[in-house]
A and B are shown apart, each in its own frame.
Chain A
Amino acid sequence: MNSFSAIPEATHEIQRFEHGEALTTCRFSPDGRYVFAGAEDLAVHRWDVSTGTTATLEGHESWVRRIDFSVDGNQLLTAGWDGQIGFWETDGENPQPHHMLKAHRGFARWVHASPDGKSIATCGNDLRVRTWKLKNYKMTADMGGHDRHPYAVMYHPDGDHLASEDLMGWIHIWDTHRRRIASKIHADIMTGYDNKFAADMGGARDMEFHPDGSRFACAGISNVVNSFAGQQDPLAILVDWNTKQIECHLEAKDKATGVMWGVSFHPNGFVACGIAKQNGSGSIEFFKVDKESIDSARVEQTTEKANDEQPSSEANDKTDEDSSESKPAAPTLKSYFSVAVDKCVRGMDFSPDGKQIAVACSDGTLRILEMNKKAETDSESDKKSEG
């Protein structure tokens, strides 16, 4: 048995909280007592997981698509498309905002608390990545560099760096002390131009660092066909922090069309991703992302490619100058297990004990999945005994 008693293959739904309005994102509170979710009714909703008691947090004038918590767990942080960051109490019957910070002109896309608990990072449609002091809400850095809308920004666990990804798949690594870009990575696989409708589609729909800081994951889309009809592939990437190279791509084992709205590292080492499919259903996909799995996928793909390619005279005519090999494409890992969800997944989060997954769905339902074997009912137990 692993340290968190999580068995992805045994994942099943244990609770369902109906809201009615489509949900946009969700997070477990750090103590595991609550799940908070954004909704298309402009409010944030809180469910007490054990009692089902609800509370409505009103204060934003637009949708909340990103929720985080202060490191001490006492403050809920919300990023709204009204350009505001909300700072809320988490407990109490009727949680109120301590403060609503006008953080961006246009839409605030993301908020993330720094590991030292003193700051937050935000990004918005004004193309800015900003940091703020948590204790007085003062801006400490205002950084430009994205040419298109940045969708997500996260602190590296060292607290000295940020990573942000924009619509065009550009990932900027920021030095928080020097307040400037330290390096760039182009995840061009995560963006595409829809020729028919003449528009770009892409960017990070979710982002997370591994707790040890060795890698981070970005979830979104790839292979744009007709994004105006939702025709593109859900995809996540893992990026190696040291080399700043894309380690691998994560795809559903069964071909899917849609958007990957969630990605999260589980303490046991696997990664889970939440997908909204074009047909209106969803799934949670589980991936083994250890070095062995990635190497194995790389070897498999190299072998497949070699088998597919016939030697040509053109290739044989290459001179020494031509022989420099292009950088090998990152291997694609397929999920090793998938759990179907009735409706589109728009956000997901592991519970602090690693046993459950909260899933925000497009039908306005918050689903709680448990990654463990179903508890036997008395009648089932009796039947086995009789058998």
Chain B
Amino acid sequence: MGASAAAGFGPLLTPAMAKQAKGQKKQILQVYLQGGVSQFESWDCKPGTKYGGPFREIQTTVPGMKICELLPYTAQKMHLLSIIRSINLKTNDHGVGRLFMEKGRTVGDYPYIGSVASRYLKNTNDPLPGYIHISTRGLTDNTTAFLEAQHGQMKLEGVAPPENLLPRSGIPESVLTKSEQFRLQLNKQFGTGRSKSLIDSYDASFDQASQLMARKHLFESQPKKDLNRYGHHPFGQNCLLARRLLEEGVTCVKVTHHGYDTHAENFNFHIEQLDEFDKTFATLLGDIEDRGMLDNVLVMVYSEFGRTPKINNKYGRDHWGASCSIALGGAGIQPGAIIGATNADGTEVSDREVDGGHLFHTYMQAVGINSTSDHDIPGRSVPIGDPAASAIEELLA
């Protein structure tokens, strides 16, 4: 790891944030609703309109802010969150939409939010990986681009420990010690003639894995009392693990909830999926608040795009990036705001259009990273955020 990055709070942090960050590290919780949650069935309802669908809107804890009736528990936590309803991603492609939402760009080799956070927010003495993604399947990405390997996402398949995390049973301690000595010897030989930062990066990755091994209790059992609140289903278990990883100091934790690519039976599937999401997410958000962590944890709920206004003949909605929504709150974000709007039928953005570039700048600046500066990599000048976009200033606290 480079020196300035190792410090964690180099010139990339705004001065105010740098001062604060010395004592309180910023973290990020990403809740990714994979496949494209419908904005009509979540954050931007249009009941009684041509494309509104069957669901009604309900009042939240923020006067005048209404969301879909499928989110009654989240509605009781909306004073902690804000909604952006005017996102136009200009793509209906899963891959492009996902990259835009994660990297702030649709093309080019740039790191994901989690990797950037790990690079610039993680303290060198933080023992655990900086970016952990809990999912139940698929989607392996290179999230680091040009950043060091240890900032890549560590993918967990649900609450199961990473493969090969624990040593094989029955191996004597003395053998393990010798094995480690041998590894260090090979490492030394491998490092001869190679850049120190590269070797440091590999070492850091190994150390992180070792520290995770030391916390195997995180994977061995989850408190039943907590599971009863979060839900015993995989998403409930994953969110509980996410909270515990944030408590352990992991810089960015991403939880993926699958099942929103609803080309057919959009409404029944949203009933099922959001029913699972709603109570669990509201519980997680409440726990983060109760623990006094919310000032330091940026919470994002997002998808790669939204869903079409038009309801197709299979009771489905298809891909739609032209007018979609996200919710976010916590560190650096004004709570209780609604940014932008769509027109009456929800077919297009009518006010304060933003895209993935604006969102990326906003996330970064919310956690104190100066997204208008360049990445801290030797010999290259790579802007952290897309210079053509800027943060949503009115949303920043």
Task: Give chain A's interface residues, CB within 8 Å of chain B.
Answer: 22, 40-42, 61-63, 81-82, 107, 125, 149, 167, 194, 196-201, 227-230, 258-259, 276, 278, 280, 343-344, 362-363
A62 to B234, CA, bound (A): 31
Contacting A199 at CB < 8 Å: which of B47, B259, B314?
Answer: B259
How many Å from the CB of B261 to the closest CB on chain A? 5
Contacting B259 at CB < 8 Å: which of A40, A63, A198?
Answer: A198
- Is B311 a contact partner of A228 (Cβ separation < 8 A)? no
How many Å from the CB of A233 to the closest CB on chain B? 13
Any chain A CB within 8 A of the CB of B258? yes
How many Å from the CB of B198 to the closest CB on chain A? 38
- Is B269 a contact partner of A228 (Cβ separation < 8 A)? yes
A40 to B314, CA, bound (A): 13
- Is A363 a contact partner of B313 (Cβ separation < 8 A)? yes
A40 to B273, CA, bound (A): 22
Q: Please report whether the interface of chain B is mostly helix, strand, loop or mixed according to DSSP.
A: loop
Contacting B35 at CB < 8 Å: which of A40, A107, A197, A362?
Answer: A197
How many Å from the CB of B358 to the closest CB on chain A? 30
Beta-carbon nearest neighbor of A362 in chain B: B313
A233 to B56, CA, bound (A): 31
A276 to B264, CA, bound (A): 11
- Is B56 a contact partner of A61 (Cβ separation < 8 A)? yes
Task: Give chain B's interface residues, CB within 8 Å of chain A.
Answer: 35, 47-48, 50, 53-56, 136-137, 234, 258-259, 261-265, 268-269, 271-273, 311, 313-314, 316
Query: Which of A41, A81, A194, A199 lies at the interface centre, i.e. has the most chain B CB atoms within 10 A of its CB?
Result: A199
Contacting A343 at CB < 8 Å: which of B271, B273, B313?
Answer: B313
Contacting A228 at CB < 8 Å: which of B50, B53, B261?
Answer: B261
12 A-B residue pairs with CB within 8 Å: A42-B48, A61-B47, A149-B271, A194-B259, A197-B259, A197-B261, A198-B234, A198-B259, A199-B258, A227-B265, A227-B269, A259-B314
How many Å from the CB of B45 to the closest CB on chain A? 12
Beta-carbon nearest neighbor of A41 in chain B: B50
A366 to B50, CA, bound (A): 19
Beta-carbon nearest neighbor of B136 in chain A: A198
Which residues from A are CB-within-8-Å of B273?
A: 199
Query: Which of B54, B137, B269 lies at the interface centre, i.e. has the most chain A CB atoms within 10 A of its CB?
Result: B54
Beta-carbon nearest neighbor of B316 in chain A: A230
Which residues from A are CB-within-8-Å of B35?
A: 197, 228
Identify 16 new A-B residue pairs, CB closer than 8 A, beyond the known A42-B54, A63-B54, A278-B264: A81-B54, A82-B56, A107-B54, A197-B258, A197-B269, A198-B136, A198-B137, A199-B269, A199-B273, A227-B264, A228-B263, A228-B264, A228-B269, A230-B265, A280-B313, A363-B313
Which residues from A are CB-within-8-Å of B272?
A: 167, 199-200
Which residues from B are CB-within-8-Å of A149?
A: 271
Beta-carbon nearest neighbor of A197 in chain B: B259
How many Å from the CB of B9 to the closest CB on chain A? 39
Contacting B314 at CB < 8 Å: which of A41, A82, A230?
Answer: A230
Beta-carbon nearest neighbor of B48 in chain A: A42
How many Å from the CB of B130 to the closest CB on chain A? 27
Which residues from B are CB-within-8-Å of A197?
A: 35, 258-259, 261, 269
